[in-house]
Amino acid sequence: MAWFLVRRLLANAVVVLGVAFIVFALVFLASDPARALLPLDAPLDAVESLRRTLGFDQPIPIQFLGFLGRAIQGDFGTSTRTLEPALGMVLERLPATLSLGAAGVGVSLLIAVPLGILAAVRPDSWVDVVARSVAVVGQAVPGFVLGQVLILLFAVTWRILPVSGSGGPAYLVLPAIVVGMGSAAGLTRILRSSLLDILGSDYIRTARAKGLGPRRVVLGHALRNAAIPFVTFLAFDLAAIMSGVIIVEVVFSYPGMGLLVVQAVTNRDLPVIQAFTFVAALTIVTVNLGLDIVYGLLDPRIRLD
């Protein structure tokens, strides 16, 4: 297990280094980063002075090493809009985004696990039809459309849930449903198909022949093996969940990192965009490492590869 963790940490370190280079390259998407950081009517001598001050006149490798050294220290510069440290602004919004992401994953699991199990245990029944319908609707309806529908029903028509902002668990309900629905659709299909394959295997028939009850066969024997592709899909779906969180935060005016970066893009606030990209990628890498550990615990053979 120790060697398994070391390999995963080394692989994630390479990923983080690649992310750091991409974050560094974001500055050059505007062709002239010094011009992008200044007002449009800034004089040429001010642009040249800023270029020398920030080191943009140096070779690209030297600039990258300097950026990497500052990033390790948590220095991504200051916001061009508020003049506050960019990383501090992002980290201030991180707990709200993590809460929404965790709530969305929770909603996804609450929908996908029961529906996937029941659909596999009772194929072609009404439960199976409902599960497949949820999967189709969840993948077909865009998050911003579902968000508007939920706002219209629960906040405008029935007035039982808040429509925007934060301040308690009630503010998470609608955004978490929107975040979780898209992921629940794919997870339901994966769990259903995996369980159907495993329930027809020889060792499951042997367990039933020994007199084990249906609940023990499904939950005690089949579900653990079916969870391996389930966890794999969840790990690959994290990036989609993160992008969904960004959209949902804008729709519900939820004060998280997503809303902050949309405002930063609007204001061409490059330091905040860089800090957000790095923090978001690091969050996904960290959660993926946790899922890798769960993956190894579910299937010990993986730790030996």
Sequence-ordered list of residues with C-beta below 8 angstroms from that of 148, at least 6 positions apart, any chain: 251
Please list the residues that pair with 78 across neighbouring strands.
Answer: 85
Q: Which amino acid is at 135?
A: A
End-to-end CA distance of the chain: 11
**Across 210-228, average pLDDT:** 75
Helix segments in the chain, DSSP class H: 2-26, 33-37, 44-53, 60-72, 86-121, 126-140, 143-150, 170-199, 202-209, 214-215, 223-236, 238-251, 257-266, 270-298
Pick the CATH number of 95-269 from 2.60.40.150, 1.10.3210.10, 3.60.150.10, 1.10.3720.10: 1.10.3720.10
Considering only residues 249 and 200, tell me which one the structure prediction assigns the higher pLDDT: 249
| pLDDT for res 64 | 81
pLDDT at residue 305 greater than cutoff 60: no
Confidence grade of residue 59 (pLDDT, cut at 50, 70, 90): confident
176-201 pLDDT, tens digit per residue, is 888 888 788 888 888 888 888 887 77
Tokens of 168: 């308690």
> Considering the entire predicted model, what is its pTM?
0.78
129 to each of 5, 114, 146, how far by Cα in Å? 41, 14, 21
138-159 pLDDT, tens digit per residue, is 778 888 888 888 888 888 888 8
Q: Which amino acid is at 298?
A: L
Confidence grade of residue 204 (pLDDT, cut at 50, 70, 90): confident
Q: Which amino acid is at 79?
A: S
Select from 222, 234, 211 the least CA-distant residue to 295.
234
15-56 pLDDT, tens digit per residue, is 888 888 887 777 666 566 666 666 666 777 777 777 777 677
Sequence-ordered list of residues with C-beta below 8 angstroms from that of 121, at least 6 positions apart, any chain: 195, 199, 214, 218
In the chain, CATH 1.10.3720.10 covers 95-269
| pLDDT for res 302 | 61
